[in-house]
Amino acid sequence: MGHAITGAGELHVEQQSSENEVNPAGREVISPRAVHTNRRLVIVSNRVAVDSGKHDSGGLAVAIRAALEKSGGIWFGWSGKVEDSPGNEPELIAAGPLTYATLDLSQRDFDEYYLGFANRVLWPLFHFRAGLVDYSRKDFSGYLRVNRWFAQSLAPLLLPHDLVWVHDYHLIPLGRELRCLDQAQVLGFFLHTPFPPAEMLRILPNHRELVEGLCAYDLVGFQTKSDAQGFCDYLIHWAGAEDLGNGALRAFGRIVRTQVFPIGIDTEAVSGHAAAAETSRHMQRLRRSLGNRTLMIGVDRLDYSKGLPARFSAFGKLLEAYPETRNRIIFMQIAPPSRSEVPEYKEIRRTLAAAAGNINGRYSEFDWTPLRYINKSFGHQILTGFYRAARIGLVTPLRDGMNLVAKEYIASQPREDPGVLVLSCFAGAAQELSEAVLVNPFDVEGMAEAIRQGLDMPLGERQERWTAMMKTIQHNDIAHWRESFIAALQASGGPA
């Protein structure tokens, strides 16, 4: 992903064009492509994707880098390294107009901030898995400590007119820590995961502190309406916030604006990669290995939020209930291991290995193995070729902020013979891709039926659904997401 970057930074915000409209509430709606700024952009994220020159970064990384290259700026965060005695000063790597500023973590910080609080408390809670939350005060204070340290290391690098854009659940308290250091810049936050309903959030002993942290930002962006709603409901019902309308609330003595920005992909680039992959060696090998059987594909980090055990069960159910599909379909599930130090991730890995073994043991023939379960990652271009070759894309998370695999699967399809997307109604992407075959990932039989429906779907219907979804993802692409956020952030500095 990440091309066609029209960038955040060429003209001046004071020259907002007359393309901007005034909405019924009297507040100016800023057209994202109409607002430009020469203000420096500072991106803060847990991981920093330093450009290795190998074109191996994900789309978000490419898009962020492109914005920074246009406006000039800093990308600040964790280096990905754990060191015995990490320095206090960030390592600075200049790359033209953009500077990467990274910090190493100590083992203790990694355990408490990243593994402990971010990935064993916030991740399960934000994915509606309260039963998996493993809370400790030690991890929470480690989370706050690292956020404070990040703020202290970042503050000396900031200029008064910078636009600061913080990403994801690891760094919720960073804004408040910057405010405590008298940093008055416009601060924005975007949550890539879902945000839970207020009642679920209250499971967290420090729910109030966390939400107060979010209110230190001028703009808080969410993937979907229901995520934004969860946050606003909490503020109104549990923090006595005043609803100022149009997504703005007065809470904890500040005004915070909320808005929905569904993240997209670089649709044109993904389509181009997929078409180019047709003739690659990987694709020739894949086609040879399939023979004339139909390919169904799933690509997910090995994470319990992705619904993989139920997906495997649905595939087993398909083979059981529709015996005519045996020896006709191959399901390839690519699932690179992720966060392997966390016990729940070790557990899901064991569960899936056993489930895959059971399906293959039960249904394989001497010349057909139904499930190819692969625990490694592939380059992005190779994946787009795999998506293109698959008649069905199976994206069935139990809960997901957005899920870009769903969008990449659509972008990779050939117009003349597109495949079918089977999509969980609990992925953020389902809000936009309503023409997919939507399933409830808790309904194994329903998922097996949906796969069957996809296998039988006539060309005309496949084209109709695909055309509608393609139009959506062409419009809401990654550049649109990034520029909409930056425009709204730029506009959020003034009075509500």
Of 192, 207, 273, 380, the active-site residue reads 192
**Shortest distance, position 134 Cβ to ligand F6P, whole Å:** 16
Size of the site for ligand F6P (CB under 6 A): 6
Of the pair 9, 124, the CB lying nearest ligand F6P is at: 124
Give whole-number Cα distances, 290 to 2, 296, 459, in Å.
Answer: 32, 11, 21
CB of 45 to ligand F6P, least distance (A): 7
Q: What's the chain's Rg over C-alpha atoms? A: 23
Q: Which of 162, 168, 218, 400 is catalytic?
A: 400
Strands (E), 154-228: 163-167, 186-190, 219-222
Nearer Cβ to ligand F6P (230/247):
230
Contacts with 399 (C-beta within 8 Å, 6 or more apart), sequence order? 127, 128, 129, 194, 305, 426, 427
192 lies in the site for ligand F6P, by CB under 6 A = yes
Give yes or no for a contact between 319 and 364, defined as CB atoms under 8 angstroms apart.
no
CB of 218 to ligand F6P, least distance (A): 22
400 is catalytic: yes
Please report how close the Cβ of residue 314 comes to ligand F6P at its closest, in angstroms: 23
Residues in 23-52 that interact with ligand F6P by CB under 6 A: 47
- CA dist 15 and 36 (Å) reads 8
Tell me whether residue 47 or residue 328 sits nearer to ligand F6P (CB atom): 47
> In residues, how long is the chain?
496
Site for ligand F6P contains 129 (CB under 6 A) = no
Q: Taking CB under 6 A as the criterion, which residues in 219-248 touch ligand F6P?
A: none
Cα distances from 443 to residues 161, 293, 405, 428, in angstroms, run: 51, 26, 21, 18
- Residue 339 binding ligand F6P, by CB under 6 A: yes
Cβ nearer to ligand F6P, comparing 147 with 490: 147
Cβ proximity to ligand F6P: between 75 and 252 the closer is: 75
> b/e per residue, 409-439, with b = 16+ CB within 10 A?
bbbbbeeeebbbbbbbebbbbbbbbebbbbb
The reply to whether 168 sits near ligand F6P by the rule CB under 6 A is yes
3 vs 47, beta carbon nearer ligand F6P:
47
CB 489 → ligand F6P: shortest distance, Å?
A: 19
Q: How far is the CB of 205 from ligand F6P (least distance, A)?
A: 23
Please say if 192 is a catalytic residue: yes
Q: Write the binding mask 400 to 439 for ligand F6P: x where contact by CB under 6 A, - elsewhere.
A: ----------------------------------------
Examine residue 70 and tell whether it contacts ligand F6P (CB under 6 A).
no
- Among residues 141, 338, 360, 463, which is the contact residue for ligand F6P, using CB under 6 A? 338
Taking the C-alpha atoms of residue 433 and residue 221, their distance in angstroms, rounded to an integer, is 20
3-state secondary structure of 254: strand
CA angle 406, 193, 107 (to 5 degrees): 120
Neighbours of 466 (CB within 10 A): 21
Considering beta carbons, is residue 5 or 405 the nearer one to ligand F6P? 405
Pair of tokens at residue 73: 């700026």
Rounded to an integer, what distance in angstroms lies between the CA atom of residue 396 and that of residue 5?
Answer: 31
Residues interacting with ligand F6P, by CB under 6 A? 47, 168, 192-193, 338-339
Q: Which residues are catalytic?
A: 192, 400
